[in-house]
Amino acid sequence: MTLRLTVNDQRRRVETDPETPLLWVIREQLGLTGTKFGCGAGVCGACTVQLDGKPVQSCSVPVGDVGRQPVTTIEGVDGPVAEAVRRAWLELDAAECGYCQPGMIVAAIALLRRKPHCTDKDIDDALRGNICRCGIYDRIRAAVHLAARKLER
Amino acid sequence: MPETPLLGRRSILRGAAVATTGLVIGLYVPERGRAAGRSEPLAPNAFLRISPENEVTVVAKHVEWGQGIHTTLAMMIAEELDADWGQVRVVPAPADPDLYANLIFEAQVTAGSNSVRNSWEQYRRAGATGRAMLVAAAAQRWNVPAAEITVDQGVVRHSRTGRKATFGELAGAAATQPVPTDVPLKDIGRFRLIGTQGVHRLDTPSKLDGSARFAIDVTQPGMLTALVARSPRFGGRVASVDRAAALRVPGVRHVVQIPTGIAVVADTFWAAKKGRDALDVRWDDTGAETRSTTDLVTEYRALLDRRGDIARKDGDAERALAGAAHTITADFEYPYLAHAPLEPVAVAVRRTRDGVEVWTGEGSVQGAQEGAAELLGLTREQVTVHSVYAGGSFGRKDGTTLEAVEILRAIGGSAPVKLVWTREDDLRHSFYRPMYVHRMTVGLDRRGDITAWHHRIVGQSIFPWEPVNGVDWVSVDGAGNIPYDIPNILVDLHTTQTGVPINTLRGTAGAHTVYSVETMLDDVAARTGRDPLALRRQLMSRDPNTKQIEILSIAEADRPTVFAEFPRQRRTLELAARRAGWGSRLGRGRGRGLAVHYGFLTSVAMVAEVTAHRETFRVDRVVCAVDCGIAVNPDIVRSQIEGSVAWGLSIMLDGAITLDRGVVQQSGFHDYRVLRMDQMPKVEVHIMPSSAPPKGVGQVAVATVAPAVANALFAATGRRVRRLPFSAG
Ligand code: FES
Ligand code: FES
């Protein structure tokens, strides 16, 4: 069936089975491959996008359930928080293979919007759903703090 | 240690000789891109191009899967070229082993933590050659002596006449210069990039905005997606298949049989998955592995009572044990492990006019090319391999390309196809770090000094092709080369056979051997009332390289590097201990533990601090000292060690693949748990100053994590765990 979606501020029409996970519609039909497949079961966070501003695992959302809620992917995140996060990540080189990073960054942006002054515990709670198999969590944590400091200025 | 060769053992010495005698220049193709003309790029060799637009392009012969090798290779060229870091970019090398072979393996392969080491001389020389040609061109143009010309951050200058030019301005003229064959390299004291802080990775930006392209992201017009139904048991075969239901799923285009199973090829991932779910396959388990983990453990344990092939023998450990005042003995169990890189295996392939094109993250670019050519009856040149970013590999992506080529062949090359593994596929149908059991028996004299050390290991061999005295050194690395001065040492090995496919995994051998060694040493310290640091320092006060060792079952070529250069390993231990504040008081319920290891020619020492609660514990801090030769990019070294800490903790806390009558029981990150953010300790990495050539850092530090933490937990609680993972109880 035909569905209408708003993705990264653009209206898109897709022809799809409504049961298809949002992840695959984003990647294959809309060609936005920044959002990653890691488990397909909602437990790794690689597929994290913002749905109406909140981080969700797009592999676990049937596209038919999205409705009018705007979807924001790694390609579409912007604004001062996103900017601060990217600058902090660059400064600390907080990426190795980089495969977890789109999901990690989308989740970190959501955290900092909600809690600009976050503690280690806040970061752990907000990002524990995002697996980094390269294991550079300590660096990512430092990057979130750095982004928070940049936003204070 | 030793290499982890993928193509049979190769001589380190031979590789090193090639790299240091300048013969590598012979591999260059100076002719290429050297057509005269001002607008031509300068391409003095296969690794470097300088465009008239002033862009320096480095061709990376090693695959980037997160270890930072693209950046590191580029730094080596930029250093000798005196380029500005901002003008440097990297492209992956095409498959061309004549130009891009790993000089240690003599094949175009990324593996074994030797990428920087084998390229160290070659890449710097490539940069120095380019620099010399730029200087020659400037000298000619300005009519001044070349010796008066300087190069700094991408600018060529003649200060007496005040002239200057960018690389781009000189590229065309430089391309017409003869290629010098014997350019000098910088003295390490003159490095401006290598070893400095703040040289940022070149791959970070594209990894932050979703534009970095991994194999799973490759799209081509009309590309189909394939999922494969594989035998639930290793070695099982398709007995029969009913394709009808799968073919009825909308979007499914083909259901084809390939050697590894039945491929369902569809318009989208989701259609392929639904098609595969609908597929009805019967498997023939004749010849398949049907044992359970418990069966294997029982069989392995039975072998612990029998003598195996000798990996190392000095003195007479059995006799010394018989005469010891006290003995301590303990058995250890280590399960199969899966790599589970976050990007599951994905490979894209399509037919071109006269061959095929492949996109893969696998480390053996050469293997992918040759394998595809052989399978399709093509020449090597007809197979184009795009070596794209891998979303982690850790050994997992080795040899994964051909299955996609099989699918392309089975559908007659009718459409581009992308093979994707789901997470469940990845955990259930992989190759694994082998399962092992160990027994350690240590003899003490009346004063508590160690007189005998016997370490017996049982498990499969990952590199069975050229054993020495029946021993694959990779099975015993970290046990066979303990640096400790003990008079009688025996290390023996039972090599087992199972139907479970195996491979290296980040930190391969050390991740089991070092756990047994280093926790046993702490047990000795506890039993004899000694401090674990003092005990190790005492045991490391003599150079193991000078010890008479009767049997050491390692390839002759690896023999000279089996132990660290004395006393650098002990110094590494002392540095870690000092930085961690060894000996200072910790609060209640807290403990500190340490471990050391030498592998991939690098020494690491680690101190972990834990806080124990009633049933659980938390790792608070890990301090690591590493002696890896020159750290080309110290921050990348740190990052690799930080990641190794997480990797080691994953293995220790939860990593286990288990079999139930031959079927892997784990199917996702819910039951194959890996470390998460809230479990991650603070990590400090201290790099030992060194002027030695770079060594391996990608995996060596994995080995010390679990024993350091286990020793810390023991210090805090007296609880000793000898069966991994800890969650197994
Ligand atoms: S792919 Fe969605 S959570 Fe893992
Ligand atoms: S950077 Fe590789 S998974 Fe996080």
User: Do the beta carbons of residue B140 and residue B132 sit within 8 Å?
Assistant: no
Q: Tell me what the mean pLDDT of segment A68-75 comes to.
A: 98
Name the strand (E) or helix (H) holding A82: helix A80-92
Q: Which of residues 341-360 of B touch A (CB under 8 A)?
A: 341-344
* Residues of B in Cβ contact (< 8 Å) with A124: 677-678
Take residue B70 and report the two structure tokens written for it: 């693209």
Q: How far apart are the first and last CA of chain A?
A: 48
Q: Are residues B283 and B298 in the same domain?
A: no
C-alpha to C-alpha distances, B152 to B139, B166, B435, nearest whole angstrom: 16, 10, 53
In a domain, B696, yes or no: yes
A7 CB under 6 A from ligand 1? no
User: Do the beta carbons of residue B151 and residue B82 sit within 8 Å?
Assistant: yes
pLDDT at B615: 87
The structural domain count of chain B equals 3
pLDDT at A7: 98
Q: What are phi and psi of A56, to 5 degrees?
A: -135, 160
pLDDT beneath 50: ranges in chain B:
1-38
The torsion of the CA quartet B642, B645, B647, B651, rounded to 10 degrees, works out to 180
Q: Tell me what the mean pLDDT of segment A92-120 comes to.
A: 97
pLDDT at B729: 72
In a domain, B56, yes or no: yes
Strand B326-334 and strand B436-444: the pairing is antiparallel
Q: Are residues B36 and B89 in the same domain?
A: yes
Q: Are residues B586 and B550 in the same domain?
A: yes
| Alpha carbons B209 and A75: distance in angstroms, whole number | 6
**Mutation site, A20, A118, A134, interface B, largest B CB count within 10 A:** A134
User: Do the beta carbons of residue B480 and residue B472 sit within 8 Å?
Assistant: no
pLDDT at B222: 97
pLDDT at B17: 29
Q: Are residues B386 and B401 in the same domain?
A: yes
User: Do the beta carbons of residue B472 and residue B497 sit within 8 Å?
Assistant: no
B651 interfacial to chain A (CB closer than 8 Å): no
Write the DSSP string, B108-128: SB--TT-HHHHHHHHHHHHHH
Place of tokens 């190795």: A96
Q: Are residues B477 and B416 in the same domain?
A: no
In a domain, B107, yes or no: yes
- HEC string of B535-577 equals HHHHHCCCCHHHCCCCEECCCHHHHHHCCCCCCHHHHHHHHHH
* Residues of B in Cβ contact (< 8 Å) with A93: 200-201, 204, 635-636, 639
CA distance A68 to chain B (A): 23
CA distance A148 to chain B (A): 17
CATH number of residue B454's parent domain: 3.30.365.10
Helix axes A101-114, A120-127, angle to 10 degrees: 130
Q: Are residues B241 and B367 in the same domain?
A: yes
Take residue A58 and report the two structure tokens written for it: 């797009």
| Alpha carbons A75 and B100: distance in angstroms, whole number | 34
Buried b (16+ CB within 10 A) or exposed e, B59-79: bbbbbbbbbbbbbbbbbbbbb
Burial of residue B252 (number of CB atoms within 10 Å: 0-12, 13-18, 19+): buried
Take residue A112 and report the two structure tokens written for it: 């900092």
Q: Are residues B436 and B462 in the same domain?
A: yes
Comparing C-alpha atoms, which of B20, B19, B18, B25 is closest to residue B181?
B25
Last residue within a domain, chosen from B181, B209, B237:
B209
Q: Are residues B94 and B150 in the same domain?
A: yes
Nearest ligand, measured from the Cα of A46: 1
| Alpha carbons B310 and B455: distance in angstroms, whole number | 10
Comparing C-alpha atoms, which of B262, B126, B242 is closest to residue B183?
B126
In the reported structure, the alpha carbon of residue A102 is separated from the centroid of ligand 1 by a whole-number distance in angstroms of: 12
User: Do the beta carbons of residue B451 and residue B488 sit within 8 Å?
Assistant: yes
Comparing C-alpha atoms, which of B498, B493, B505 is closest to residue B437?
B493
In a domain, B426, yes or no: no
pLDDT at B700: 97
**Which residue in chain B is spatially nearest to A19 when comparing CA positions?**
B270
Last residue within a domain, chosen from B388, B420, B452:
B420
pLDDT at B614: 87
User: Do the beta carbons of residue B623 and residue B643 sit within 8 Å?
Assistant: no
Superfamily (CATH) of domain A80-152? [2Fe-2S]-binding domain (1.10.150.120)
pLDDT at B39: 62
**Mutation site, A59, A138, A139, A140, interface B, largest B CB count within 10 A:** A138
Nearest ligand, measured from the Cα of B341: 2
* Residues of A in Cβ contact (< 8 Å) with B420: 37
In a domain, B2, yes or no: no
The DSSP output letter for B259 is T
Q: Are residues B686 and B579 in the same domain?
A: yes
Place of tokens 């060799």: B45
User: Do the beta carbons of residue A132 and residue A45 sit within 8 Å?
Assistant: no
Buried b (16+ CB within 10 A) or exposed e, B118-128: bbbbbbbbbbb
Selecting from A123, A124, A134 the residue whose C-beta is nearest the C-beta of B643 gives A134
| Alpha carbons B31 and B345: distance in angstroms, whole number | 38
The whole-angstrom distance between residue B422's C-alpha and the CA centroid of its chain comes to 23
Residues in chain A: 153
User: Could you give the ipTM of this predicted complex?
Assistant: 0.98
In the reported structure, the alpha carbon of residue B402 is separated from the centroid of ligand 1 by a whole-number distance in angstroms of: 27
In a domain, B238, yes or no: yes
| Alpha carbons A62 and A45: distance in angstroms, whole number | 16
List pLDDT tens digits, range B286-322: 999 999 999 999 999 999 999 999 999 999 999 999 9
Comparing C-alpha atoms, which of B683, B572, B537 is closest to residue B623?
B683
Three-state DSSP class for residue A32: coil
In a domain, B5, yes or no: no
Mean pLDDT of chain A: 97
Selecting from A24, A34, A135 the residue whose C-beta is nearest the C-beta of B269 gives A24
| Alpha carbons B641 and A139: distance in angstroms, whole number | 11
C-alpha to C-alpha distances, B151 to B121, B128, B165, B303, nearest whole angstrom: 20, 11, 10, 65
Last residue within a domain, chosen from B186, B209, B232:
B209
Take residue A9 and report the two structure tokens written for it: 């501020």
Take residue B275 and report the two structure tokens written for it: 């098609």
Helices and strands, counts by H and E, chain B: 19, 28
Nearest ligand, measured from the Cα of B68: 2
| Alpha carbons B162 and B338: distance in angstroms, whole number | 61
Selecting from B67, B250, B674 the residue whose C-beta is nearest the C-beta of A133 gives B674
User: Do the beta carbons of residue B203 and residue A98 sit within 8 Å?
Assistant: yes
Q: How far apart are the first and last CA of chain B?
A: 32
Q: Are residues B401 and B550 in the same domain?
A: no
The whole-angstrom distance between residue B552's C-alpha and the CA centroid of its chain comes to 24
* Residues of B in Cβ contact (< 8 Å) with A139: 639, 642
∠ CA B717-B598-B320, nearest 5°, is 70
List pLDDT tens digits, range B190-228: 999 999 999 999 999 999 999 999 999 999 999 999 999
Q: Are residues B47 and B131 in the same domain?
A: yes
Comparing C-alpha atoms, which of B249, B320, B258, B315 is closest to residue B279?
B249
**Which residue in chain A is spatially nearest to B684 when comparing CA positions?**
A138
Contact call for B342 and A97, based on CB within 8 A: yes
Domain of B399 in residue numbering reads as 215-287+345-420
Reported pTM: 0.94
CA distance A44 to chain B (A): 7
Q: Are residues B517 and B463 in the same domain?
A: yes
Contact call for A93 and B204, based on CB within 8 A: yes
Comparing C-alpha atoms, which of B286, B328, B242 is closest to residue B662?
B286
Return the CATH fold of A2-72.
Answer: Ubiquitin-like (UB roll) (3.10.20)
In the reported structure, the alpha carbon of residue B260 is separated from the centroid of ligand 1 by a whole-number distance in angstroms of: 26
Where are chain A's structural domains? 2-72, 80-152
In a domain, B395, yes or no: yes
